Amino acid sequence: MSSELRYTANTQLEHLHARYTGTGHADLTKFEWVTHQHRDSLASIIGHPPLLSYLAIADGEAIGRLKFEMTERMLQPCGPPPRKDDD
């Protein structure tokens, strides 16, 4: 019975990974995971106008300017990727 549960859990996990790209996988690095989190947060702020308005008022910026800056920040939200060791 435990093998059936394990099979069901694995297929459900594979389905989640296929459906939602931000759920990660076993080979995901810390940098990639953090990058996904930052992009998801920025996209959520841009996609919710009341939250975007709140941040624009708090920063004293125009809504369009803040939206532009957040969209630009989505390109590399955590800076350039770390160098890979080619051993």
Residue 84: C-alpha distances to residues 2, 9, 62 (Å): 39, 33, 39
State the pLDDT at residue 30.
Answer: 87
Distances (CA, A) of 48 to 23, 61, 72: 22, 17, 17
The more confident residue out of 30 and 68 is 68
Buried b (16+ CB within 10 A) or exposed e, 43-77: eebbeeeeebeeebeeeeeeeeebbeebeeebeeb
pLDDT band of residue 80 (cuts 50, 70, 90) is confident
Euclidean distance between CA atoms 53 and 66, whole angstroms: 9
Tokens describing residue 65: 């300017």
Q: Is 0.95 topped by the overall pTM? A: no
Q: What is the pLDDT of residues 52-70, one digit of tens each?
A: 999 999 999 999 999 999 9
2, 9 Cβ separation under 8 angstroms: no
